[in-house]
Homo-oligomer: A and B are copies of this chain.
């Protein structure tokens, strides 16, 4: 039960780590987590563990990342961990305990166990899902300009992003809606930017990323009609 909680800070992707005060891996930096309780599922459990580190209301999205189970991943005793990816909007600055810090994923400190690999997987997952879902909602504030959103995507993806293209791709998919309001101009003037928000605060997959689509009226030769869920209500869609 571990979580890689990511947030964009100062234009870079950061992850929440705490410094271990005991063996094994004393002094190294580790992902927050804990043991699974008897009457909770893994998702509730990880949420509960995180409550010690950050204000839970700040975590906009959380999902399973995978199971890490190499027998020797934790020296001494057998530990099988279910890892999660958590995302915090960039305008939140949750209070964290004194042993806990945000670290840029591009320059991790000395990490414990296989936690560096888990962070890499989390980053990969985030990058991929930014492409074909509305996952940006979990990184952005409630209201934002396109430029601000562009900066978030650039930090998360690790490469420059065209504001024009971002705007249109997201608008066409219906994930971005204008609020009608505008932001104040910057110090040097310039046209005031329109404010946008994400249409939904829940993960949704872009339909169009599926290739080899059904002809058109998509008759479907599945058995059990009505049993099949439509692509758009898959919350934790599809890949790993």
Interface residues of A (CB under 8 A from B): 12, 36, 38-43, 63-67, 69-71, 78, 80, 82, 104, 106-107, 120, 124-125, 127-132, 153-154, 157-162, 165-166, 169, 209-212, 214-215, 218-224, 228-229, 234, 236-240
Interfacial chain B residues near A221, Cβ < 8 Å: 154, 158-160
Pairwise interchain contact A237-B106, C-beta atoms closer than 8 A: no
Give the contacting residue for A128; candidates B39, B65, B125, B237; CB below 8 A.
B237
CA distance A224 to B215 in the complex (A): 45
Interface secondary structure of A, over-half rule: loop
- Which residues of chain B come closer than 8 Å to A38, judged between CB atoms? 71, 78
B214 near A166: Cβ-Cβ < 8 Å: no
- Report copies per complex: 2
Q: Which of B63, B154, B209 contacts A131 (CB 8 A)?
A: B209
Q: Hey, which chain B residues are within 8 Å of A132, CB to CB?
A: 209, 211, 239
Can you sample 12 A-B contacts with CB below 8 Å? A38-B78, A39-B71, A41-B69, A64-B67, A65-B240, A107-B224, A124-B238, A128-B238, A153-B212, A158-B220, A159-B218, A237-B240
A127 (CB) vs chain B CBs: closest residue:
B238
| Residues in chain B near residue A159, CB distance under 8 A | 214-215, 218-222
**How distant is the Cα of A126 from the Cα of B118 in the complex, in angstroms?**
24
How far is the CB of A116 from the nearest CB of chain B, in Å? 10
Distance, CA A160 to CA B158, complexed state (A): 39
Tell me the nearest residue of chain B to A222, going by C-beta: B158
**Chain B residues whose C-beta falls within 8 Å of the C-beta of A212 in the assembled complex:** 130-131, 153, 157, 161, 165-166, 169
B residues in contact with A36, CB < 8 Å: 69, 80
